[in-house]
Amino acid sequence: MHTMMAHVIPPLRTRFIAAVFTFIALWGCALSITRYSIPEEMEEGSFVANLATDLGLDVRSLVQRSAKLDVIHSKNYLDINKETGELLIREKIDRESICMTKTTSCFLKMDVILENPIRIFNIELEIMDINDNAPVFRRRTMHLDISEATPPGERFSLTNAVDADVGANSIKTYYLSESKYFNIDIQTGSDGSKYVDLVLNGHLDREEHAVHNLILTAVDGGVPPRSGTASIVINVLDINDNAPLFSQPVFSLNVSENSAAGTVVMTLNATDLDEGTNAQLIYSYTLYTSEKTQELFSLDPNSGEIKVKGVIDYEESQSFEMHIQAQDGGANPKSGHCKVTVFVTDLNDNYPEVTIKSVKSALTEDVSVGTLIAVVSVSDRDSGDNGKVELTLNGQEYLPFLLNKSSDGYFELLVSKPLDREIISKYDITLRVTDKGSPPLSENETITLEILDVNDNAPAFSQSFYTIHVVENNQPGALLTSLSAFDPDLNENQYLVYFIMEKVIVNTSMSMLFSINPENGDLYALKTFDYEREREFLFHIEARDSGVPPLSSNVTVHIIILDQNDNTPLIVSPWRAQGSVVEEVIPRSTDKGHLITKVIAIDADSEQNARVTYQLLQISDTTLFSLDQYNGEIRTTRMFSYRDPRQQRLVIVAKDNGDPALSATVTIKISTVEHVMSFSETTELPLEYDFFTDLNLYLVIGLGAVSFLLLITILVIIVLKCQKPKPKAMKMPPPNRNSVISRNSMISQRSSTIADSTLISSDAYWYSLFLAETRKGQVVVRQPIIPKGAGYFVSSIPRSIGPSETTDSRASTLEQEPRRELP
């Protein structure tokens, strides 16, 4: 019987395997069993042998006789190729899974069965071992506990490694990683197995090396060799051979005073190289620690934490010493010692103190600079910078005071500037003492200083000049105004008395015209003023305090009398007896625009109150006459016709511009004649004579009064010359159509239409002389009787000029037209 080697055998070993197979085949033929040998782990489809050739069978008969392979007691790892007769690997074969026991030989038995006829061939397939398994330790990690007191030479058994391979491929030896404390001892058993022991070579010290980690390696004898490893963890067991040890024998540290209870000062950390109970430490004070220190500081026996327990005050004690021991928990306990020195750090916990001595609570405002107010002392219980203090004045730049250091810790509070009670009457002087600690502490002390008043301020009026307007016809005793002065002083220095400074004007004292309340300065009028007589007053009022010596001031008061519309216009032309009707005679041939007469009214008031306008109140024929509302001229608006009545009646009203307006009326009866009539002279001349005689007297009085008051050259003196008519009948020029003259007309030779005359007197009111112009330029003057004591300012109305002011100190001017004798 022939044998064949599998084609998967490595080329280098082909000859060796072929020889083995040949030997087996020859030996199998002798026993009638066909044997083959193949290495394990051949790839699927690998060639094992050609059964047709080896069994002497025709390849075609394998199919015809339905050849099949029957593996005995095993899985079918092989298959027959019926076309070629070859025996092939169907599935990888693992020798260790087929042969569980560690035997040198391992066979796989099978039968080749042919039918028609049935024939069975016995075949044995030897599975040869290859080194495909590495050594494996049953325990990958081995733990050993060895006391550090174990003597050298002590042995410790280790778990062996196993290798599924057999023969030369099984475990050959062991190796141990490098260690100065351990080595191994390898022994061989009766079955060839290798055993290993761990041997201690030196003394162990747990404190130096508590754990030893070693690697044990098992190596087999295969080519190439395979190996497996296991870890050996050796824990060195402790014995109490070390005393506790502090990091340093003496500790020095700082603790701030007033630290809160429970504040950790430090934590002691003594070390013991042992472990377990041998390293469990208990901290405690020794007998060398004072009871006071133990009252202020607590020591935790387990953690070694030192905490503040009491109140630490730098001012009482600046340092503390604590002697502390740490003892382990071994059977024979060992202990270590240290000293803790605690230095107390001063905190700025004491406020500086201010003490005020010899203080003055009040000063008069006229004290001199440098006056002592108080003596101040400062102190601080702290030390160093915390005990250095500085004293300042709050707002010193605004206060009239200063601090002068007189000695160490003592200061003088002095007046540095003049005091004025009227500006500040009381000072709250705040002294602030501050130490130089961090953070700085400060304390305030306030001194209240009252400034006493002296009479150093004169009364002051709110205005230097008062102008007071008073409407005439005021009630006697009427309040004009209140003049109040202010005195910033106090008490009697502030109480004011008001009075009028005496002044005599035209023999009249101001105190007869005005009165002032001495307590409150209310100014009253003592009489009723008449604008037409008094226009203004100028005097002084003085306010005086009650201090010693008293101070005073005065103010100028200007009283201006305002006009009131209290005078009714007075019609002075055409002249008429009281309540009579004025009669005017004109020819019927009068042309259009002929001046019939001129109504003139005067008003003693001033300005708008004296502005007089004229209106027609009643008229018999509105188409025949016209009235100029400003100058009062009555003129014809057309020529008379035969239908017009011979007598016309006009009612003229003269009204001023006051509020309310006042008025006067005059009735004029106009008669028309066919020719000019001669006037009787006997009735005119006595009246004209009397009028001019009185007028001359008043002119002399007025001119004399003005000359006496002004005492200077009169700016404008216009002398009015009144024309006296002869005591005989006047010869009238022949009448004509354009020159018929009414006996009540006023004819002026002046070229101006209106001549204004003003007569001013302080003793009586005067009427002005009014002149009326006619076309012929000849004058007949008529003047009504003037009541004495009445003063009037007369002006013609065309320019609407009001009355001018007059006072006792102003000049009176009378302007007259020279009289002209009528031919």
Q: Say which CATH topology domain 353-452 has.
A: Immunoglobulin-like (2.60.40)
Total residues belonging to the chain: 823
Residue spans of the domains in the chain: they are: 34-126, 136-237, 245-345, 353-452, 460-562, 570-673
pLDDT band per the 50, 70, 90 thresholds, residue 169? confident
Predicted confidence at residue 506, as pLDDT, reads: 65
Among 58-62, 367-371, 549-553, 763-767, the least confident range: 763-767
Q: What percent of the chain has pLDDT over 90?
A: 29
CATH of domain 460-562: 2.60.40.60
Do 34-126 and 570-673 fold alike per CATH? yes
**Per-residue pLDDT averaged across 409-437, rounded?**
91
**Per-residue pLDDT averaged across 515-534, rounded?**
91
pTM equals 0.41
- What is the C-alpha to C-alpha distance for residues 402 and 393, in angstroms, rounded to an integer? 8
Would the pLDDT of 653 be above 60? yes
**Per-residue pLDDT averaged across 414-438, rounded?**
91
Would the pLDDT of 227 be above 50? yes
Would the pLDDT of 655 be above 80? yes
**Edge-to-edge strand list for the sheet holding 335-345:** 250-256, 335-345, 319-327, 282-285
CB contact burial 448-463 (16+ within 10 A = b; e otherwise): ebebebbbebbbebee
Predicted confidence at residue 677, as pLDDT, reads: 53
Looking at domain 136-237, does it have CATH number 3.40.50.200? no
| DSSP-derived secondary structure for 254-323 | EEETTPPTT-EEEE---B-SS-GGGG--EEEE-TTS-HHHHHHEEE-TTT-EEEE-S---TTT-SEEEEE
Least Cα distance to 48 among 128, 165, 164, 114 occurs for: 128
- What is the C-alpha to C-alpha distance for residues 156 and 181, in angstroms, rounded to an integer? 13
Q: What percent of the chain has pLDDT over 70?
A: 78
Least Cα distance to 18 among 3, 30, 8 occurs for: 3
Please provide the average confidence, as pLDDT, over all residues in the chain: 78
Predicted confidence at residue 773, as pLDDT, reads: 33
pLDDT band per the 50, 70, 90 thresholds, residue 401? very high
- φ, ψ dihedrals at 74, nearest 5°: -165, 170
CATH of domain 245-345: 2.60.40.60
- E-state strands within 30-74: 34-39, 47-50, 68-71
Question: Do 504 and 511 touch, CB atoms closer than 8 A?
Answer: no
Beta bridge partners of 782: none
Predicted confidence at residue 614, as pLDDT, reads: 92
Looking at domain 570-673, does it have CATH number 1.10.3720.10? no
DSSP state of 507: T
Pick the CATH number of 34-126 from 2.60.40.60, 3.40.1160.10, 3.40.1410.10, 1.10.10.10: 2.60.40.60
Would the pLDDT of 366 be above 50? yes
Torsional sign, CA 701, 706, 709, 714? negative
Calculate ∠ Cα 741-742-743, nearest 5°. 115
Q: What is the pLDDT of residues 758-810, one digit of tens each?
A: 333 323 233 333 333 333 333 333 333 333 333 333 333 333 333 333 333 33
Among 343-347, 517-521, 757-761, the least confident range: 757-761
Neighbours of 567 (CB within 10 A): 23
